[in-house]
Amino acid sequence: MPKVIISGGGTGGHIYPAIAIANALKEINPATEILFVGAEGKMEMEKVPKAGYKIIGLPIAGINRSNLLANISFPKKLISSLSEARGIIKDFKPDVAVGVGGYASGPVLLAASMMDIPYLIQEQNSYAGVTNKFLSKSASKICVAYPKMDAFFNKDKIKMTGNPVRKDILEVNSKRAKALEHFGLLSSKKTVLVIGGSQGARTINEAIDAGLTNLVGAGYQVVWQTGKLYIDRAKKTAEVFEGQVFVSDFIYEMDLAYAVADVVVSRAGALSVSELCLAAKPAILVPLPTAAEDHQTMNAMSLVKNDAAILVKDVTAREDLVKATISLLQDPEKQAILSKNIHGLAKPEAAREIAEEVLKLIK
């Protein structure tokens, strides 16, 4: 019976690929025993049990780049997390470990390396972060989603798989009628889906808030995921557009959200980009400029240069985003081009390919 430990989290962009890999492992061999390790207080501690898996939290936290004084406790948390990770590995006795990025990956993979457990890194972005670059030195395999990743990793360890996503996004086109009913929208109107990532996105939220009257006035309807910090303000703005704007802090039924969308406005996190490719949706991407090493801009540019998405800079989004959205909604030809080109970049078998690589590492 294979035993696999999967570490990482912090955002939906790390958690959902991890769950997709776990599900693929179970499909290949239902007897596979899987344990997740995340960071205490982060969203994986809620989302992973909902997906049916056990998770243990570590006291690890990220480095605060904007307030260096806030990092005083970081060394203590890292040492404590490394010690706990060693204890978890000793108790669980995994055959192999997987790191998907996020705070918990570092201590778990470091402990695995020290205890001679082979491990695989799943690098989701087009620009590798500092932690994964460091951990890659002892990794047995590195699964990537973008070309030219040998700029960061040993090319002999790299496997190009794409990013794993939830299976239900593969069949969104057959769900439009169900999606319209779910969100309480009309089949006669085109729909904009606005997603800022699992935490929301302030700039996107403020741009949509300011331009909602223009969007609805132009004859369009909106599904708007705001994140927890903006939900009250968004609901207040949307209340005058009953039946034309659906607002929620978090959308669990993302397959239905994509199914109802004619155009998507999104951040450019790795998971969002991969889902858009599979759903084949015309997209306007607003990269988060403060993302580590500006990787979201690089993710977005990998689509833009293939005429597979439109980019609006965060700094100009408040003025330009709604205008760009209405312009795209009014241009069916451009929508068709973007849809065709973004779908050409999809990797529907990513989760299974990564799971197969994981199982190959078992001694």
Establish whether 87 is an annotated binding residue: no
Q: Kindly report which listed range (63-67, 210-214, 297-301) carries the lowest average pLDDT score.
A: 63-67
Domain tally, the chain? 2
Q: Kindly report which listed range (125-129, 175-179, 225-229, 312-316) carries the lowest average pLDDT score.
A: 125-129
Q: 273 — phi, psi (to 5°)?
A: -60, -45
Encode pLDDT of 142-186 as tens digits.
Answer: 999 988 899 999 999 999 999 998 888 888 989 999 999 999 999
Residue 188, CB half-sphere, CA atoms under 13 Å: how many? 3
Establish whether 187 is an annotated binding residue: no
Averaged pLDDT for residues 47-58: 93
Establish whether 251 is an annotated binding residue: yes
Establish whether 67 is an annotated binding residue: no
Establish whether 124 is an annotated binding residue: no
pLDDT band at 26 (very low <50, low <70, confident <90, very high): very high
Strand, helix or coil at 362?
coil
Establish whether 202 is an annotated binding residue: no
Give the N- to C-terminal CA distance of the chain in Å, as an integer.
Answer: 12
Shared domain check, 145 and 186? no
Establish whether 270 is an annotated binding residue: yes
Shared domain check, 101 and 82? yes
Distance CA(339)–CA(144), nearest Å, equals 23
Shared domain check, 114 and 172? no
**CB–CB of 269/275 below 8 Å?**
no
Distance CA(170)–CA(193), nearest Å, equals 17
Q: Which of 75, 72, 45 is nearest to 58 (CA)?
A: 45
pTM recorded for the entire structure: 0.84
Angle at 296 between CA 150 and CA 230, to 5 degrees: 155
pLDDT over 90 percentage in the chain: 72
The confidence score (pLDDT) of residue 23 equals 96
Buried b (16+ CB within 10 A) or exposed e, 48-81: beebebebbbbbbbbeeeeeeeeeeeeeebbeeb
For residue 200, pLDDT over 80 is answered with no
Encode pLDDT of 77-130 as tens digits.
Answer: 678 888 899 999 999 999 999 999 888 899 999 999 999 999 999 998 888 878
Shared domain check, 190 and 142? no
The confidence score (pLDDT) of residue 307 equals 97
Shared domain check, 33 and 20? yes
Q: Identity (one letter) of the amino acid at 320? A: D
Establish whether 273 is an annotated binding residue: yes
The confidence score (pLDDT) of residue 73 equals 61
Residue 80, CB half-sphere, CA atoms under 13 Å: how many? 12
SS3 content of the chain, % helix, strand, coil (to 5): 50, 15, 35
Shared domain check, 222 and 158? no
Encode pLDDT of 184-198 as tens digits.
Answer: 999 999 999 999 866
Establish whether 296 is an annotated binding residue: yes
For residue 323, pLDDT over 80 is answered with yes
Shared domain check, 309 and 183? yes
pLDDT over 70 percentage in the chain: 94
Q: Kindly report which listed range (16-20, 69-73, 355-359) carries the lowest average pLDDT score.
A: 69-73
**CB–CB of 179/260 below 8 Å?**
yes
The CATH number that applies at residue 227 is 3.40.50.2000
The confidence score (pLDDT) of residue 153 equals 96
The confidence score (pLDDT) of residue 68 equals 53
**Cα 98 → chain centroid:** 17
> In angstroms, what CA-CA distances link 301 with 62, 292, 318, 338?
27, 16, 20, 14
The confidence score (pLDDT) of residue 31 equals 96
Shared domain check, 116 and 44? yes
Shared domain check, 153 and 182? no
β pairing state of 158-160 and 96-99:
unpaired
Shared domain check, 183 and 156? no
pLDDT band at 69 (very low <50, low <70, confident <90, very high): low
SS3 for 107-130, per residue? HHHHHHHHCCCCEEEEECCCCCCH
Establish whether 319 is an annotated binding residue: no
The confidence score (pLDDT) of residue 284 equals 98
Establish whether 185 is an annotated binding residue: no
β pairing state of 221-225 and 245-248:
parallel
The confidence score (pLDDT) of residue 25 equals 97
**CB–CB of 32/25 below 8 Å?**
yes
The confidence score (pLDDT) of residue 178 equals 96
Averaged pLDDT for residues 59-78: 62
Task: Classify residue 347 by its DSSP letter.
Answer: -
Encode pLDDT of 233-274 as tens digits.
Answer: 999 999 999 999 999 999 989 999 999 999 999 999 888 999
pLDDT band at 215 (very low <50, low <70, confident <90, very high): very high
Residues 6+ apart with CB under 8 A from 49: 55
**CB–CB of 246/225 below 8 Å?**
no
The confidence score (pLDDT) of residue 74 equals 59
Angle between helices 202-217 and 317-329 (to 10 degrees): 40
Establish whether 12 is an annotated binding residue: yes
The confidence score (pLDDT) of residue 209 equals 96
Residue span of the structural domain in which 57 resides: 3-163+349-360
> In angstroms, what CA-CA distances link 132 with 49, 144, 180?
26, 11, 41
Q: Kindly report which listed range (70-74, 150-154, 241-245, 341-345) carries the lowest average pLDDT score.
A: 70-74
Establish whether 231 is an annotated binding residue: no
Cα dihedral sign, 111-116-117-123: positive
The confidence score (pLDDT) of residue 328 equals 98
Q: Which residue has the higher pLDDT, 72 or 86?
A: 86
Question: What's the mean per-residue pLDDT of the chain?
Answer: 91
Shared domain check, 18 and 141? yes
Q: Which of 329, 168, 162 is nearest to 261 (CA)?
A: 329
Establish whether 271 is an annotated binding residue: yes
Shared domain check, 89 and 131? yes
